[in-house]
Amino acid sequence: HETLIQSETRGAVRLLRLNRPDALNAMTVPLLVQLRQALELAAQDATVRCVLLTGAGRAFSAGQDLADPHVAPTRAPGAAPKDIGHMLDQYYIPLVLRMRSLPVPVVAAVNGVAAGAGANLALGADVVVAAESASFVQAFARIGLIPDCGGTWLLPRLVGRAKALELALLGDKLRAAEALAMGLIARVVPDVELPDAAMAIAQRLAGMPTRALVETRRAMDDALKLDFEAALRREATLQSQLGFAHDYLEGTAAFLDKRPPTFKDR
Ligand code: T3D
């Protein structure tokens, strides 16, 4: 079948590239299925310590393929409307949950426009790096939908209610520099530098204590629904577990011995 997700391994980094460049990497059912499978393979491969997600061609992803017969409203008179919630339940939600719970950190290298589900998939990564010419579009309201793939959860947390609603309601194209300025993404680099810069971040993360990184993501997400004291106690529980793990012993020993650490927990 068609390779809609290109997968490459460089050291401990698994690079996954959305690969429908002629359609701006718009998401179809086969693409969503292949991406989920690729994430599952990365999750199960103990040699993978970071996933780097990017797009082929000039876009990261234009979001749901609006011409896909699975979701496109049938214009023929009398045709039954399609339940796009079913599409979310079947394909998008498992994909996004798989990414957000991956046992390794996820870096998104946003190489061009990221619209709709494509934008929110990228924004759900742990570290989002964008090319200067990249942009983010909450395209949903323009076609009569609400932000999905976690947009309603992510946007207000990342940029606050005022900016989140402005982005979601107007659906304007947000340039990478503005996205950075409002705290939506972590870093912007010149276009030609994006592949190497994102790979360098991914390689650094891959050399770090994976389990601690993943617990950091989880603790931060969990803390959003806890009060301050509960967050303190949850930190203590997780810290207690990490304190018994190999990487803490190795990290402290390497520090005291003034040598580079070799982490292996995952
Ligand atoms: O439906 C469900 O299952 C629920 C889930 C929904 C999740 C969603 O993602 S909803 C949001 C879907 N995405 C959009 O609404 C974005 C639509 N696209 C755009 O707004 C623009 O194309 C972009 C901002 C992404 C890029 O603009 P630009 O000017 O760089 O390119 P363009 O000329 O508009 O697009 C180039 C081609 O790609 C064009 O086709 P053509 O004229 O060359 O034959 C365009 O129609 C096509 N294209 C772009 N986005 C999509 C698409 N074709 C199908 N689906 C798309 N999403």
How do the domains of the chain map onto residue ranges? Answer: 5-206, 210-257
Please list, in sequence order, all residues whose beta carbon lies within 8 angstroms of the beta carbon of residue 178, skipping any fewer than 6 positions away.
none
Distance 201 CA to ligand 1 centre (A): 29
Instruction: Express each pLDDT in 39-85 by its tens digit.
Output: 999 999 999 999 999 999 999 999 999 998 777 777 777 777 788 89
Half-sphere exposure of 203 (CA within 13 A, CB side): 9
Kindly report the number of other CB atoms within 10 A of residue 128's CB atom.
27
What is the distance in angstroms between the CA of the first residue and the CA of the last residue of the chain?
32
Backbone torsions φ then ψ of 32, nearest 5 degrees? -65, -40
The pLDDT value recorded for residue 80 is 77
Nearest CA to ligand 1 atom 22: 62
The pLDDT value recorded for residue 77 is 79
Please list, in sequence order, all residues whose beta carbon lies within 8 angstroms of the beta carbon of residue 205, skipping any fewer than 6 positions away.
49, 50, 105, 107, 127, 213
Instruction: Express each pLDDT in 111-156 by its tens digit.
Output: 999 999 999 999 999 999 999 999 999 999 999 999 999 999 999 9
Instruction: Express each pLDDT in 245-254 by its tens digit.
Output: 999 999 999 9
Kindly report the CATH class assigned to 5-206.
alpha beta
Distance CA 184, CA 190 (A): 18
Nearest CA to ligand 1 atom 19: 62
- Average pLDDT of the residues in 218-233: 96
